[in-house]
């Protein structure tokens, strides 16, 4: 697995999920189709009881460990990221994000809540060993419109920041991992008769 999009909203249709979809569509267009993980679909009892042996939780943790890039989206409630996301992050091993690049996304009712990305979520991602945390993308409710049919529209300035972030993910993290040639592990043996030296 290369990129994993993690939806941290308890709702099936939400503005934070719309931001996540916007990132996913752009990654797919750039030749890096991501996988999706909706925390709300995991067994709720296993999450609340921190049952890391439960199949749904264990599989979700394994998917995080396998990913090179994580895009994590959450609504902001009372100046903090969602409780659903908090419970899941608490179940991850301490070095679960080691060597990974993370793009945090958040939505909230007011611009005043945008600091939740830097002061609430970023420290947790750092404590889990994330190699590189991109600048978070925050959008207010007015900047993300979700229709009853499930489609969405993202305001131009937010869409531009998403474009920049996806470009960075593809060019600096995802594409090099796909296109880089495998390093040579050894040289072919050279017969002694072909060895030439000069003094």
pLDDT surpasses 60 at 187: no
DSSP percent split of the chain into helix, strand, coil, nearest 5: 45, 20, 35
pTM of the model: 0.84
| Predicted local distance difference test score (pLDDT) of residue 195 | 56
What is the pLDDT at residue 194? Answer: 63
* CATH number of this structure's domain 3-194, picked from the four choices 3.40.50.1220, 3.40.640.10, 3.30.70.100, 3.40.50.360: 3.40.50.360
pLDDT per residue as tens digits for the range 88-132: 999 999 999 999 999 999 999 888 778 788 889 999 999 999 989
Residue 197's CB is within 10 A of a number of other CB atoms, namely: 4
Q: Stretch 75-90: mean pLDDT, rounded?
A: 92
Percent of the chain exceeding pLDDT 70 equals 87
Phi, psi of 89 (to 5 degrees): -60, -35
């Amino acid at each position: 697995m290369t990129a994993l999009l993690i939806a941290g909203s308890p709702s099936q249709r939400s503005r934070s999920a719309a931001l996540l979809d916007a990132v996913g569509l752009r990654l797919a267009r750039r030749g890096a189709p991501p996988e999706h993980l909706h925390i709300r679909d995991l067994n709720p009892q296993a999450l609340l009881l921190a049952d890391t042996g439960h199949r749904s939780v264990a599989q979700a943790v394994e998917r995080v460990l396998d990913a090179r890039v994580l895009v994590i989206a959450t609504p902001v409630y009372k100046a903090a990221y969602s409780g659903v996301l908090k419970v899941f992050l608490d179940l991850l091993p301490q070095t679960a994000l080691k060597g990974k690049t993370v793009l945090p996304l958040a939505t909230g009712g007011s611009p005043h809540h945008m600091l939740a990305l830097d002061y609430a979520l970023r420290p947790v991602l750092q404590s889990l060993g994330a190699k590189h945390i991109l600048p978070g993308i925050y959008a207010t409710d007015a900047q993300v419109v979700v229709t009853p049919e499930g489609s969405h529209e993202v305001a131009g300035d937010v869409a531009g920041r998403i474009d920049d972030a996806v470009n960075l993910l593809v060019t600096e993290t995802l594409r090099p991992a796909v296109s880089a040639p495998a390093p040579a592990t050894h040289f072919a043996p050279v017969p002694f008769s072909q060895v030439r030296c000069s003094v």
